[in-house]
Amino acid sequence: MRMTDPLYALYARRLRRQLRDRQRGGRLPEHIGLIMDGNRRWAKQMGMASPSLGHKYGAEHVEEVLSWCEALEIRHVTVFVCSTENLRRRGDAEVAFLMRLIEQVVANKLAGPDARWRVHIAGTLDVLPDSTAHVLKHAVDATRDCATGAHVTLAIGYGGRQEVIDAMRELMTERAEAGESLTDLAASLTAEDLSGHLYTAGRPDPDLVIRTSGEQRLSNFLLWQSAYAELYFCEAYWPAFREVDFLRAVRSFAARQRRYGG
């Protein structure tokens, strides 16, 4: 949703200039997590015939938000696309509509011939329709050699608690196959051991998590990885999330004195 008001454009330029100054001092986030909330409520507010149409506008908005991250040289973004709870609690028709949208956006926007972001997946593909899982796997393969250094992780069929359980299960299996007992594992276990088996292994933890729609909770998103992340809650619904809203969130992060562990 592009804004053409001259005052808006002037304000956005001012914010970008301020952040470029912060960037030179290393004050911008390396990794941003995005909780895209409020699609259905936005559609209702706009008087649309179906709340599901909010998902359409929200999905298409991801590409634009990634361009804002790219302009600030933010190289890692994790987008909370769909939780395991969403898949269980939403109606079959709505879930099917959402999955088709995901397939279209990923195939046409993120995994095209001019892809600028390397795609990663966080979640359990087994809970998704076969067609959706296929598109996501193809996107990962198609962007594997992306040379921009930018990484986007799509959290889909995702739950933070389940991620920790899966990581622990994988770690225990690995150690057992190596002949290590549970007692030995318990005595030597470190946070780094578990982190190496998360869906996001090999990528940095988020510095900043932004949630739209005014809700102030993580909703099972990157629970382990967000232990020391700064949180920013924006009142705008996701489809109405503007560049100035994004820039304000990053400016808020840059102005904070980060504290780890206390």
Say how many Å lie between the first and final Cα of the chain, rounded.
39
Question: What is residue 1's predicted lDDT score, i.e. its pLDDT?
Answer: 43
- The mean pLDDT of 95-124, rounded to a whole number, is 95
CATH fold of 28-215+227-255: Undecaprenyl pyrophosphate synthetase (3.40.1180)
- The mean pLDDT of 146-153, rounded to a whole number, is 96
Report, as residue numbers or ranges, the catalytic residues: 37, 86
- Lowest-pLDDT range of 9-13, 56-60, 178-182, 224-228: 9-13
Interval 2-59: pLDDT, tens: 456 788 888 998 998 889 877 766 689 999 999 999 999 999 999 999 988 999 999 9
Residue 152 β-bridge partners: 77, 119
Per-residue pLDDT at 112 exceeds 90: no
Interval 47-79: pLDDT, tens: 999 988 999 999 999 999 999 999 999 999 999
Angle between helices 92-105 and 130-142 (to 10 degrees): 20
Percent of the chain with pLDDT over 70: 97
Alpha-helix runs per DSSP H in the chain: 6-24, 39-45, 53-71, 84-89, 92-105, 130-142, 160-177, 182-188, 191-195, 243-255
Q: Six-digit token pair at 112?
A: 């095209």
What are the domain boundaries of the chain?
28-215+227-255
Cα angle 93-82-76, degrees, rounded to a multiple of 5: 150
Question: What is residue 7's predicted lDDT score, i.e. its pLDDT?
Answer: 86
Q: What is the pTM of this model?
A: 0.93
Question: What is residue 25's predicted lDDT score, i.e. its pLDDT?
Answer: 64
Cα angle 41-47-50, degrees, rounded to a multiple of 5: 70
Q: Six-digit token pair at 43?
A: 């559609």
